[in-house]
Structure 1
């Protein structure tokens, strides 16, 4: 199981599929979780299945299931009714596999236990909101949203043309025209609702995200004599992209834990607000102002800068400390180099960050705890995806895009 959970989050289904290969022989595997807003589906196996399975199909199956009770039956997957095995974890994460022919489901407690570890690992990695995870999530969210908009516009234009033609008085068959108009109208409504469904899955209401933050802070502070004042965000504030909500909660948690190291701390004030374009986060305390601001900035800046945000940390003797963060709610227009960076996986981003500092392969290997040959493999992948011929060119792209060794992180 260590090999399954130790690695980039986007590939966790591939690693878990290998783990289950002899226990639950299968041709395709899907892990579905709302924890990851950018890529809620982690997949491995038959492309004809994993590339066509929809969130709606997975959601429909999940609503029919009971936690811990295996599903061994037929359901619609990738547009067709298929025999599947499935498990629902206590975290709400769904495991679905397509068993190989003539296989019987077995070892359910073992698979359920292993999948529970995977589900908790996913939740933990999302909650930590590492810069690598945030970058991957934002890139995935942006790509999916753009694809949906393009498809919606294309098919909406087609259906609107059909409706215009069918409504023409030049057509004589009234009944056919009415039937066709109703069919096309229904299809148009369904198509346009796809974008709304995706938005619901990919975003959190700002008030819900703030309430989750309070729940996460409660166990951290329950044994400390500290009063926490919460200033709620506006109820009509814009919904937050999932990666923004995750990053904001992680920033506040880190700031609160840093503040709590001060012996004179008695009170913390946490406020979230929205100005229409940014989530504004502020954390203040009433301690002696002895905070190590440089360390806290280094700790927080990776997450904030990955999402194009701004951070300000100040600590004044006798007056206390303050952390202020602004995170854009919209993905900025990508420059060509940013489009290329979006193709890099989390490990390649880590390697690129070290290339930006001029490190050689051995130094990178020592920093990341991997072999020098593995680093060489990743460097080759980075150069190919960025379309450059040298490490220096790759490093220059990284510097321009703000990628640094201290702003990338392992899952």
Structure 2
């Protein structure tokens, strides 16, 4: 920008970015920002409807080596939302100068090797606009996406749990062996015990960080809902009463936090079209296993008042494995209760089809379920990306799936 005047074509490029498919947003956003502040790479940490929280564009040494846990740590260490700063960060063993912007919804944008900019605040403003759109797409995601996100969450948490159990058992056995009095080299035993103990502590740290990345404190999720509803209803003569969940309630899986907020928003907005309604009660609670959402409105309590709660909302509820009930009391109120399970469904492979796969293809299946892309699978297995593509093609053919997403949906089913 020049003295606060937007560069020519900025709004047109921004409009084009907002209409792009989510996968193309990083490249398009980079093009919008380049006239304002030069940079060699751009990385976004968001919640979006494609299920991919981390997206990047530009220098692969930066975008490839900057991990999601690192990004989440940067976001948590920030002084708050709607902030922008320049600070160096270590990525792949190299210190990179960066510009870091955190939008109102908590989404993080990082520009690598940023040039001079008349107003870093303008970058934050643009990022807030783009990240808000990405968040809205997540909130309006199709039920199929929500189901797949829940199933994938189950696969991730299962993988983390199995990894933790395997290595914990290994390290504990190592400790038992090294503590044996039959070993004569006390000094070597002491060093080995210390190293093994440190390894267990590090494993706990990584596991906790992985869990935190996919969870949201229930109080934080409800505060976001309150903010959204308050903004929507502030211009209407409707009194809103909020009953907060317990501050120490169990954290919510990220897709449950987003899905529950979208469901409650849709319920309230559908009901308040009735002109007689003057009061709305919104309450969340946790019983340790479920998130319990409750909405009550006053008014005539006619059954037709609940008619806007259409099949789309019901499918969204079902996709999250939730249960919704609607009760109307003539001349009194309309009550809606939704129970969202916090534990994702257990995963179960399409056993008959998987049994026909070769051992290497079964390994590729495991990486597909964990969300790995072809290049990452190739690096993990030490094979070429073309070989991975061949394996994926045969997996799709064996399963009778038309796409990668359909194959994952077939492999992740509720017991």
TM-score, normalised via structure 1 length? 0.70
Structure 2: distance between partners of 1:6 and 1:335? 37
**Count of residues in Structure 1 that have an aligned counterpart in Structure 2:** 354
Write the deviation string for residues 198-247 of structure 1: whole angstroms up to 9, x where unpaired.
Answer: 22232223333333322322222223333333344345543211211222
Structure 1: distance between partners of 2:23 and 2:402? 27
SS at match of 1:325: strand
**Other-structure match for 1:71:** 86
**Other-structure match for 1:318:** 331
Deviation at 1:25, TM superposition (A): 5.5
Structure 1: distance between partners of 2:168 and 2:39? 42
Q: Please, which runs of 5 or more residues in structure 1 have no aligned partner?
A: 345-380, 403-411
The answer as to 2:222 corresponding to 1:222 is: no
Q: Please, which runs of 5 or more residues in structure 2 have no aligned partner?
A: 1-13, 355-364, 370-392
Match of 1:250 among 240, 255, 262: 262
Structure 1: distance between partners of 2:199 and 2:110? 29
SS at match of 1:83: strand
SS at match of 1:280: strand
Deviation at 1:104, TM superposition (A): 5.1
Structure 1: distance between partners of 2:24 and 2:397? 18
**Other-structure match for 2:311:** 298
Are 1:129 and 1:246, in contact at CA under 8 Å, matched by a contact in 2?
A: no
Deviation at 1:252, TM superposition (A): 1.7
Taking the TM superposition and a 5 Å limit, the aligned residue runs for 1:80-229 are 80-91=93-104, 92-98=106-112, 112-128=124-140, 131=143, 134-135=146-147, 137-229=149-241
Change (3 A) 1:166 1:35: farther
Match of 2:322 among 286, 292, 309: 309
Are 2:87 and 2:97, in contact at CA under 8 Å, matched by a contact in 1?
A: yes
Write the deviation string for residues 7-44 of structure 1: whole angstroms up to 9, x where unpaired.
Answer: 55465335435656787463x53212478996432234
Write the deviation string for residues 294-334 of structure 1: whole angstroms up to 9, x where unpaired.
Answer: 43132422321221222223445423322222222111123
**Other-structure match for 1:355:** none
TM-score, normalised via structure 2 length? 0.69
Tell which has more relative contact order, 1 or 2 (C-alpha 8 A, sep 6+): 1
**Other-structure match for 1:265:** 277
Are 2:277 and 2:299, in contact at CA under 8 Å, matched by a contact in 1?
A: yes
The answer as to 2:16 corresponding to 1:6 is: no
Structure 2: distance between partners of 1:2 and 1:386? 42
Deviates more, 1:161-170 or 1:124-133: 124-133
Deviation at 1:288, TM superposition (A): 0.8
SS at match of 1:192: helix
SS at match of 2:310: helix
Write the deviation string for residues 328-373 of structure 1: whole angstroms up to 9, x where unpaired.
Answer: 2111123446999x979xxxxxxxxxxxxxxxxxxxxxxxxxxxxx
Calculate the aligned-residue CA RMSD, in Å: 4.1
Write the deviation string for residues 155-184 of structure 1: whole angstroms up to 9, x where unpaired.
Answer: 323322332222122322222221221121
Deviation at 1:287, TM superposition (A): 0.6
Structure 2: distance between partners of 1:64 and 1:330? 30
Are 2:102 and 2:124, in contact at CA under 8 Å, matched by a contact in 1?
A: yes
Write the deviation string for residues 105-150 of structure 1: whole angstroms up to 9, x where unpaired.
Answer: 6687575554333222233334446535534543453343233223
Match of 1:233 among 239, 242, 245: 245
SS at match of 2:308: helix
Structure 2: distance between partners of 1:401 and 1:184? 38
Are 1:38 and 1:141, in contact at CA under 8 Å, matched by a contact in 2?
A: no
Are 1:38 and 1:242, in contact at CA under 8 Å, matched by a contact in 2?
A: no
